[in-house]
Amino acid sequence: MMSLIHRTAALARPRRLMAAACAAAALSAHATPFELTHSGWFSTAEALNLQSDSSRTYFNAATPSILQARFDDTSPNLEPPSPPTPPPFAGFRAYAPTSITLYVSFAGRFTANGTDNQGLSVAIFDRSSFMPGRYGVGFIIDSEVDGAGIVGDFKGASPDFTAPELTVTTFADFAGVGHCSGACSSGFPPSCPHLVTPIVLRVAGNASWKLTLATFEADLPAERMNMAAIAAVPEPSTYGLMLAAHALAFMPDTRYADTCSRHRSIRSRSISASPASSLR
């Protein structure tokens, strides 16, 4: 699985240390249903529009978003080989989600599913995975070929956990984020041309939208833009803290590159209103 190894190799590059804080409930470690909440942003090189539109509608500013992905730790692991899982695969899981919701600032609520997006997975990397000492959370479509997705990297998790024994935790010390538009059209990551594979989203009434990601990795000037936690039940207070932080956040210092070399994450959304001022 060269794609995963190459994708995470870039974590060795120097990154500024950033603190990330997010509220999570003290819940039973024996619960098997989990919910990943991950806040982030979309860049002006990315687009959100109706699937029927003939052209893309790009975000006109860094646009905050929150991913809410529910899954069960007994759900299928979509990343082979499993079992057995030799290092570093033992520290990685790509869970089939039970639901994915994406909240996009100024646009609304969207949902994503594995029928529209074959291979959609909730990606969890523990600190023993491809870059020792780093955690990664997000979503990846078809992780075996390193497809479209977003994953955020963190240097801390409290409490610590291992992928085989997942528990409620809060991530801290944001270390960067990677977005990827799709799998390599030729060659192997990180230095390869990437396909652009839009992610299909649904809204109230089942209308179909598409989210087109760019391929880049970035550090942000403030940790407020990227927070993450895994909870056993929905955490409304967590969403409130993230939205408040987004209101204070400013344009990130994005460095575009032809690489999907970060742990990545993404979410699905459902929307009941068309995109407004955050899109052009």
Classify residue 129: in a domain, yes or no: yes
Distance CA 209, CA 220 (A): 28
Domain that holds residue 133: 2-256
Query: In degrees rounded to 5, what are phi and psi of residue 105?
Result: -55, 135
Classify residue 278: in a domain, yes or no: no
Number of domains in the chain: 1
Classify residue 134: in a domain, yes or no: yes
Q: What is the pLDDT of residue 143?
A: 86
Q: What is the pLDDT of residue 81?
A: 53
Classify residue 268: in a domain, yes or no: no
Task: State the Cα angle at 75 between 158 and 161, rounded to 5°.
Answer: 15
Q: What is the pLDDT of residue 217?
A: 87
DSSP 229-248: EEESS--HHHHHHHHHHHHH
Q: What is the pLDDT of residue 32?
A: 76
**Cis peptide bond N-terminal to 159, omega within 30:** yes
Residue 216, strand partner residues: 179, 256
Q: What is the pLDDT of residue 17?
A: 27
CA max distance for the chain: 49
Q: What is the pLDDT of residue 6?
A: 37
**Structure tokens belonging to residue 79:** 């990343």
Classify residue 275: in a domain, yes or no: no
Classify residue 193: in a domain, yes or no: yes
**Residue whose C-alpha is closest to residue 137's, from 100, 102, 177:** 177
Classify residue 274: in a domain, yes or no: no
Q: List the chain pLDDT tens, one digit each, 280 residues.
A: 334 333 433 333 333 323 233 333 333 334 479 999 999 999 999 999 999 999 999 999 989 999 999 998 877 777 755 555 556 677 889 999 999 999 999 899 999 999 999 999 999 999 988 778 899 999 999 888 889 999 999 999 999 999 888 999 999 999 889 999 999 999 887 678 999 999 999 999 999 999 999 999 887 645 557 899 999 865 555 545 555 555 444 344 443 333 344 444 332 323 233 343 345 4
